[in-house]
A = this chain, B = another copy of it.
Amino acid sequence: MPDTRKYVITFGCPDRTGIVARISSFLAELGGWITDSAYHTDPDTGWFFTRQVVTAESIPLEIDELRARFAGIARSLGAEANWKIFDSAERRRVVILVSKEGHCLYDLLGRVASGELDVDVPAVIGNHDNLADITRAHGIPFHHVPFGKDPEEKAEAFAQVAKLVAEHDPHAVVLARFMQILPPELCEAWAGRAINIHHSFLPSFVGARPYHQAAARGVKLVGATCHYVTADLDAGPIIEQDVLRVDHTDSVDDMVRKGRDVEKVTLSRGLRWHLEGRVLVHGNRTMVF
């Protein structure tokens, strides 16, 4: 997270000559000091994307006024709703969903506690309660929402989770090894904000027990994938992936253990990029600026 207050602009429109000039001239005329900028044109679809970061103090406008003026540029370039401006001074809120396995949660809590991940975590929600104590030791409320086995109980549990999440209107809902498949209506409600860590190098080993699948196939690397959640299981846009080497001496349990380090690091990288507005989604692919 940046120390100096910044405005972060993300933008996409059909490609044509002069887009960069339009946007940079708009910012230059305001006196905007660009500290970071990235551009990409997707040759398959002919779309152009950019992310611009300007120091807030260099812009003599309130953010709403900036948005209003930029809307004109965006409209004239055909960007429609494909743009956003956010203020780095607005604290990001992250709600974390967990099940029994704590490695991703421990990791995130450590990053928050040390200030490395400078966000608010107003709630951790677990379908088990074994991670309640450590969460509360960090001064964060833990909500235990048990998930029954039959569909009705599950639906009720999800309704409760949905309500808890909605109360905080978070910038990210992190499924930190949550192990429950989100119902379509939650995928919809949290679209572009729900981030999952899948414990395989997708698209290999979709679904349950990926390390068991990996061991059975005899692969020499296992991995983890941080992706946005969509209604298609483990098929949402990939934000980040990483792998580590395994060999024949590694049992499934060894893979599970070693894999945790890749999972937690991959998740935290993906989450950070999401919160910094670095991840733009186009179709089922992401650009990470």
A223 surroundings in chain B (CB, below 8 A):
221
| Contact B241–A219 (Cβ < 8 Å) | yes
Q: Tell me how far the C-beta of A234 lies from the nearest C-beta in chain B, rounded to whole angstroms.
A: 11
Q: Give complex CA distance A28, B202 in Å.
A: 41
A37 surroundings in chain B (CB, below 8 A):
20, 39
Stretch at the interface among A60-68, A82-90, A109-117: A109-117
Of the A-B pairs whose beta carbons lie under 8 Å apart in the complex, a sample of 16, sorted by A's number, is A18-B24, A20-B24, A24-B24, A24-B25, A34-B39, A40-B248, A103-B114, A107-B110, A116-B260, A203-B205, A204-B204, A218-B286, A220-B239, A221-B223, A221-B243, A261-B268
| Contact B261–A238 (Cβ < 8 Å) | no
> Which among B113, B203, B239 is the interface contact of A106 at CB below 8 angstroms?
B113
A28 surroundings in chain B (CB, below 8 A):
17-18, 20-22
Q: Which residues of A contact B (CB under 8 A)?
A: 17-18, 20-22, 24-25, 27-29, 31-35, 37-43, 58, 101-103, 106-107, 109-111, 113-114, 116, 133-134, 137-138, 201-205, 216-221, 223, 237-243, 245, 247-249, 251, 257, 260-261, 265, 268, 284-288
A110 surroundings in chain B (CB, below 8 A):
102-103, 106-107, 110
